[in-house]
Structure 1
Amino acid sequence: MSTTRNLLVELFVEELPPKALKKLGESFARDLADGLRSQGLVPAAPAVSSFASPRRLAVHVKDVASAASDKSVSQKLMPVSVGLAADGQPTPALLKKLAALGADASVVPTLKRQLDGKAEALFLDSVAKGATLAAALQKSIEEALAKLPIPKVMQYQLADGWTSVNFVRPAHGLVALHGAEVVPVSVLGLQAGRVTQGHRFEAATAQIELRDADSYAQQLRDEGAVIAGFAERRADIARQLDAAAAGEGLKPIEDDALLDEVTALVERPNVLLCQFESEFLDVPQECLILTMKANQKYFPLLDAAGKLTNRFLVVSNIRPADPSRVIGGNERVVRPRLADAKFFFDQDRKKTLASRVPGLAKVVYHNKLGTQGERVERVRTIARAIAGQLGGGVLVQHADQAAMLAKADLLTDMVGEFPELQGVMGAYYARHDGLPEAIAFAIEDHYKPRFAGDELPRGDAGIVVALADKLETLAGLFGIGQVPTGDKDPFALRRHALGLIRMLVERALPLNTAELVSVAFHAFAPTHGQAQAELAFFLRERLVGYLRETGYTAQEVEAVVEARPALWAEIPKRLAAVRAFKTLPEAEALAAANKRVGNILKKSDESVAAVVDTARLAEPAEQALFEALQSVAPKSQAAFEAGDYTGSLQLLAALRTPVDAFFDGVMVNAEDPALRANRLGLLAQMHAAMNRVADLSKLAS
């Protein structure tokens, strides 16, 4: 009889890669539980707990059966005509099939006949014995390990000196407990038991004998000095960081990725307060923060104004009675890093940004697109064109100078050491060179927005250079066929496109997108590929996705985008107008009528001019529609030209009654060609009047 108990599986290994630990732990727990569920050992939605520390991956699953229930199975064998002879006796083919399944001719009378498509087939009913926990767990562990998102596999030898295995790190222990009983499974040359190890230095005993599956986390904490759960350990670190910072009246820098990485480096976190010499604060704080976070995994402390202080927090993996040696060691280690940053900063300022620009001609940007120097000239060309449209004069001058200098910091020592600071350091060096703040901001901001939700560039010059930089990137790479496919986007062109869209829409820039694409391609040599239509379509697709994420429905977005507004800055107002129009009682009927009109005009064999001869308006219904149009269309047009898109659409509500009457009482495709052309012209006029703000046919259900 099957019994249900909780299950604990732990793989004890050498230190795992910290940046991958969180995903490794989640994957191991999820896939092992999925394997047990697929074999009928756990409920459909089992309670699963994941554990991951630098030296262990573990999972606790509740209510795991010792064996799965038996299942009735109906197995198709073959068509009756193949399995049975004319006299009803089994054919050799059927006997061979039965033998392969462990049956013989005695079961032939029990075989079922069922229609399978157009012919009858033979089916064998049997009972499949449910998997035992040992067999199911063996399969589940192997599958879970095979699916681990291992960043880099290593090969190592087992204790026998001959056998080699591949895994993320050498594994030294395996625990598998069903309740208090050991499940006899093996993996990576290890036999399952109930013994694990705690903290490398601070465990109470060298080995921990686990009582049962449910005592795992508590025994590791009490006897092993280890917080096994990743989430629990992370929360403990965050609490300690906040408490230590609050004691100094400061706050730790917020960085989820750093917190995850530090959580993956320690098993028994202990936050300690350290400091460095205040003279280093003369270096831009971005440099100091980056070197402390990236190289040392420290948490810099900021004051209430967000300014860096000379104190920082360290998350130690040990808790000595006297932490002074740990604190002193970390303070000694950070000094050379900060000194390097100060040296780079001092050396870089000995040369102006402008003096570095010629050196960009020696830096390859792309083997098909030339050097960074050539790229800078293209960005300058695009920037001057955009600035000329947005402001001219001083803006053109500032944008051109910022575009010329924007990539110069790539040749500085600081950016060479910390590529993440490109743009940021350019701004500092521009200020040191005495350049206006507008140019410094533009140099720093021209990479923005760098990710979803990032802030947009400050100031007009920053917007111009950021637009030019993204347009040059998109036009250049589309022109040589480097187009994103599927989930592959090595040059982050989707991100560049989204940044371009956000600036146009959120800053309400009076720029024609099609003209921007044309300007970008014209900055390249005539021999450069002219993939303008392809890039325009790509931008349109990204625009649709962006608008959907802002909360508008697919129907609303399609209606506005299909109207192809030249200025994407108008799109939010158009969307708001469409949403307001949809609330009108006349909206649905007008949308349906608009769709019908569009279909009629598309199907017309003759070219349709939006011209109406009033003398040929024979029917009262078409006369009424024409008169309504003469009244409504000019008012709607005036509202549209004044930017009142909501008012422009709502005026169209007056057309519902004459439109309905027209379709009820008028034959559009009259036999008389002149009459037919006149009616099509009337519909063309109405279609044009109705679709200025949006393609209302897209709102039809």
Structure 2
Amino acid sequence: MTAQNLLVELFVEELPPKALKKLGDAFASVLADQLKAQGLAPDEAVVTAFASPRRLAAHVTGVLARAEDKAVSQKLMPVSVGLDASGQPTSALLKRLGALGADASAVAGLKRAPDGKAEALFYESVAPGVALAAGLQKALDEALAKLPIPKVMSYQLETDCELPGWTSVNFVRPAHGLVALHGSTVVPVKALGLTSGNTTHGHRFEAAVSPVVLKDADSYAVTLAGDGAVIASFAERKAEIARQLAAAAAKVGGGCKPIEDDALLDEVTALVERPNVLICEFEQQFLGVPQECLILTMKANQKYFPLLDAQGKLTNKFLVVSNISPTDASAVIGGNERVVRPRLADAKFFFDQDRKKTLASRVDGLGKVVYHNKLGTQGERTERVRAIARAIGQQLGGDVLAKSADTAAQLAKTDLLTDMVGEFPELQGIMGGYYARHDGLTEDIAFAIEDHYKPRFAGDELPRNLTGVVVALADKLETLVGMFGIGNLPTGDKDPFALRRHALGVVRMLIESRLALHFHALTRQVLAAFPPDLLQDKSVELDEFLIERLKGYLRETGFSGAEVDAAIYARQLGHWSSIPQRLAAVRAFAALPEAPALAAANKRIGNILKKSEGNVAATVNESALVEQAEKDLFAAMQATVPAANAQFDAGDYTASLQSLAALRAPVDAFFDGVMVNADDPALKANRLGLLRELHDAMNRVADLSRLAT
């Protein structure tokens, strides 16, 4: 059966730009998957998605006009149920055959085959392959039903019948055209009140012809580009915009580069059908406003690309991606420059007004801002964060760090009351840093205020100084303990308070900033900062939550689950800051030939000690050692463990574990020749004490039993 390429396009009004790429990919993938499932397209078919502001389309290679017939074997029933003692069909069998469109004449052709312990009857037939029109209709219906539409709208279509009337249609945007071409042949399908054809529409203003007639499926992109002035491919349009942005920046000169923002690039790609990048500028006076404010207003409100100089500083030039290409672009450039000016003037006004009040004068105002109905105001929260920051600062740097952390924590949230942050919430923290410098505060405090939300997302940088780390840690821990304490825990994929992100930030700061703090003690210290009886004590649950984030973080750095578990469940873990060194030691140890045997022995020792009654002390009476194997193990430990402990105390975890590898032979000999659970209680206790001492020594760096397979 001859295969040809298929093109399906749905022509609609302007689609939501932030959802366009996802809509285009989903439409093409579901359509193709459904065609493959029906045998109309091969598994290796190439699927190309197209998505522009006014169209979703898919091109699928190697589609058949009719799927191949397929042999079908259907189990009917056990032979004992379908045939009587004389081999004649029972009424149950005849009824089942009738339901399949067969009669008694089909009994002779039934196949017998084992089915478990019994023998069953199978009816073999040939299912005719589905025709493309029917199969595509099903695939198209499924593709539209499964579109990840952010918000559905309803619109009316005039009923196509003799009686006048209207029918309601629900879709993301009103649809006005449907194309379905198998090669050059129109496939008759319907969707959203539309019937398929071979015509579409190009650019609203610059199409050479309207409608655009498509010769065949393969000429879709070329015809739209030529006759319709539309780059149909989202990826090609995005690449073209990126190319034009770079070319325009080079034209400006001075090492200028457009700001890198892939989300903005995607959104602009979804707003234009044939991009044309233009260079615009604004007055130099606006550069006195913090560049974050100007960049944000240009990106968020106008979808412009600000230009940065070679040092990363904002220039007064910006790039506009226009959807039209007039011979004289001066009117378009002038219009965009007029539009951006009031936005920048607003930012300058906010900045000037905000600096008329100090951050310190805004502190009392936080008491009027509700943080959470169960956790009080921002003012109350600020006092809790201050207390936590002072305690952490005292532990890490004494009075000096405690004082600077307290000051930064007191002022960290005050920029929430400024006009600039009221207009642009994304600038919270950043504006606090600018206003702190204006108030004459030190760079240390300004950086801490600016950075205390960091890390904001996976891969974000940590606060730049220790004061900032302390305040950020206090802020995130206060949120975690508070939300856990009132029962606002993440469930499934729902995490409205971003507690997973906060927990990952805590993990990263404890490890990457090498803080000498124990997470277990931290969560209880934070709980004490809240008023009594305000929260439930969820410290254990929060500890487990943090450990899960820790495991995920470490696995993402390239370590296996077994290596991670071995490192974090070490007997003497202490501060998480030592975990990276422990992981390196575990990996080096695992590569040793002695590692599997020692890991298995460690696991065995752990099980023996768990089953023993009471706590086993790590004490050994050398004179009570009887068997040669236990004497040899004790001697080997006396020669090896002190050196391994000294290396551990010096922080050389790799050397410590490698020193213990020398114990493999005596450990193997011990288990081969010594009965631990001896009948003599004193002898048994002494042997358990020997194993306890060995177990403690082996698990200081890592829980080696986790490496056992």
Q: Which residue of 1 aligns with 2:447?
A: 441
Q: Give the one of 647, 664, 681 matched to 2:689.
A: 681
Question: SS state of the match for residue 57, structure 1?
Answer: strand
Of 217, 220, 229, 1:216 maps to 220
Equivalent residue in structure 2 for 1:233, among 233, 237, 258: 237
Q: Which is worse superposed, 471-480 or 660-669?
A: 660-669
* 8 Å Cα contact 1:3/1:65 also seen in 2: yes
Does residue 186 (structure 1) correspond to residue 194 (structure 2)? The answer is no
Choose from 273, 276, 284 the match for 1:278.
284
Deviation track 1:432-474 (CA, whole Å, cap 9, x = no partner) reads 1111111111111000001111110011110000000110011
More divergent stretch after superposition (564-573 vs 61-70):
564-573
Q: Separation in 2 of the partners of 1:49 and 1:589?
A: 53
Equivalent residue of 1:488, what SS?
coil
More deviation, 514-523/9-18 = 514-523
Instruction: Establish whether residue 537 from structure 1 lines up as the match of residue 544 from structure 2.
Output: yes
Match of 1:377 in 2: 383
Distance 2:22 2:668 in 1: 60
The structural deviation recorded for 1:650 is: 1.6
User: Which secondary structure state, in structure 2, belongs to the residue aligned with residue 130 of structure 1?
Assistant: coil
- For 1:369 and 1:88, the matched residues in 2 are separated by 79
TM-superposed deviation, 1:81 = 4.2
Whether 1:309 aligns to 2:308 is: no
Q: Is 1:366 aligned with 2:372?
A: yes
Of 233-242 and 630-639, more deviation after overlay is shown by 630-639
Please say which of residues 656-665 and 146-155 is displaced more in the overlay.
Answer: 656-665
Alignment equivalent of 2:414, drawn from 408, 418, 421: 408
1:420 aligns with 2:419: no
Structure 2 counterpart of 1:328: 334
For 1:40-439, what aligned pairs fall within 5 Å after superposition?
Answer: 40-160=39-159, 161-249=165-253, 250-439=256-445
Would you say 1:622 and 2:630 are equivalent positions? Answer: yes
CA shift, 1:492, in A, is 1.0
Q: Which runs of 5+ in 1 are unaligned?
A: none
User: What SS class does the counterpart of residue 8 from structure 2 fall into?
Assistant: strand
1:80 CA drift (Å): 3.7
2:566 to 559, 564, 568: 559
Look up the match of 2:555.
548
State how far apart, in whole Å, the 2-side matches of 1:653 and 1:80 are. Answer: 65
- 281-290 or 108-117: which moved more? 108-117
Q: Secondary structure at the match of 2:31?
A: helix
User: In the alignment, does 2:503 pair up with 1:497?
Assistant: yes
Distance (whole Å) between structure 2 residues aligned to residue 193 and residue 43 of structure 1: 25
Structure 1 residue 521: deviation in Å? 1.1
2:162 is aligned to none
> For residues 142 and 223 of structure 1, what CA distance do their matches in structure 2 show?
29
TM-score (norm 2): 0.97
Equivalent position SS for 2:68: coil
> Contact 1:449/1:456 (CA < 8 Å) preserved in 2?
yes
Structure 2 partner of 1:654? 662
SS of structure 2 residue aligned to 1:126: strand
**CA–CA separation in structure 2 for the residues paired with 1:452 and 1:606:** 45
Task: Call closer, same or farther: CA 1:266–1:460 in 2, change over 3 Å.
Answer: same
1:590 aligns with 2:601: no
Q: Find the residue that maps to 2:139 and give its secondary structure.
A: helix
Whether the aligned pair in 2 keeps the contact of 1:157 and 1:163 (CA below 8 Å) is: yes
SS at match of 2:22: helix
Displacement of 1:623: 1.3
Corresponding residue number in structure 2 for 1:451: 457
Matches within 5 A, 1:509-548: 509-527=515-533, 528-548=535-555
Pair 1:691-2:699 in alignment: yes
Mapped to 1, the partners of 2:594 and 2:62 lie a distance apart of 59
Change (3 A) 1:50 1:458: same
Distance of aligned partners of 1:100 and 1:585 in 2 relative to their CA distance in 1, 3 Å threshold: closer
Deviation at 1:171, TM superposition (A): 0.4
Residue 625 of structure 1, CA deviation: 1.2
- Calculate the aligned-residue CA RMSD, in Å: 1.3
CA distance in 1, matches of 2:395, 2:154: 61
Three-state SS of the structure 2 residue aligned to 1:227 is coil
Q: Which amino acid is 2:599 matched to?
A: A
The residue number in structure 2 matching 1:700 is 708
Shift of 1:618: 1.0
Q: What is the deviation of 1:88?
A: 4.1
- The offset of 1:681, in angstroms, is 0.7
The CA deviation at 1:82 is 4.0
CA distance in structure 2 between the aligned counterparts of 1:274 and 1:614, rounded to whole angstroms:
87
Distance 1:587 1:117, change over 3 A: closer
Q: Is the 1:612–1:679 Cα contact (8 Å) retained in structure 2?
A: yes
Give deviations 1:459-507, integer Å, cap 9, x for gaps: 1110000000110011011111111122221111111111111111111
- Amino acid in structure 2 at the alignment position of 1:283: V
Report the CA distance between 1:116 and its aligned residue: 3.1
Cα deviation 1:5-35 (Å, max 9, x = unaligned): 0111000000000000000000011110000
> Separation in 1 of the partners of 2:441 and 2:114?
85
- Between 1:101-110 and 1:666-675, the stretch displaced more is 101-110
Pairwise CA distance, 1:149: 0.5
Q: Cα distance 1:585–1:89, how it changes in 2: closer, same or farther (>3 A)?
A: closer
Equivalent residue of 1:166, what SS? strand
3-state SS in 2 of match to 1:254: coil
In 2, Cα distance between equivalents of 1:423 and 1:218:
49
Alpha carbons 1:574, 1:646 under 8 Å: kept: yes
Counterpart residue type for residue 542 of structure 2: L
Q: Structure 1 residue 162: deviation in Å?
A: 1.3
TM-score relative to the length of structure 1: 0.98
Q: 1:462 aligns with which of 468, 472, 487?
A: 468
- One-letter amino acid of the structure 2 residue matched with residue 566 of structure 1: G
Task: Compare 108-117 and 181-190 and name the one that shifted more.
Answer: 108-117
Number of the residue aligned with 2:608: 600
After TM superposition, the structure 1 stretch with the greater mean CA deviation from structure 2, 282-291 or 346-355, is 346-355
Q: Does structure 2 retain, via aligned residues, the 8 Å contact 1:16–1:54?
A: yes
Deviations 1:639-680 (A, max 9, x none): 211212122112212222221221222111111111111111
Cα distance in 2 for partners of 1:382, 1:471 equals 9
3-state DSSP of counterpart to 2:158:
coil
CA displacement, residues 340-381 of structure 1 (integer Å, 9 cap, x when unaligned): 111111111111111111111121111211111111111111
Whether the aligned pair in 2 keeps the contact of 1:513 and 1:566 (CA below 8 Å) is: no
Q: For the structure 1 residues 619 and 85, does the alpha-carbon distance in structure 2 shift closer, same or farther, using more than 3 Å as the test?
A: closer
Provide, for residues 35-87 of structure 1, a one-character-per-residue CA deviation record: whole Å limited to 9, x for no partner.
00001111112111111000000111111111111011111223444444455
Check whether the contact 1:514–1:566 (CA below 8 A) recurs between aligned residues. Answer: no
> Residues of 1 paired with 2:594 and 2:9: CA distance?
65
Q: Which amino acid aligns with 2:445?
A: I
The secondary structure found in structure 2 opposite 1:158 is strand
Q: How many angstroms apart in 2 are the aligned matches of 1:638 and 1:264?
A: 63
In structure 2, give the amino acid aligned to 1:56: R
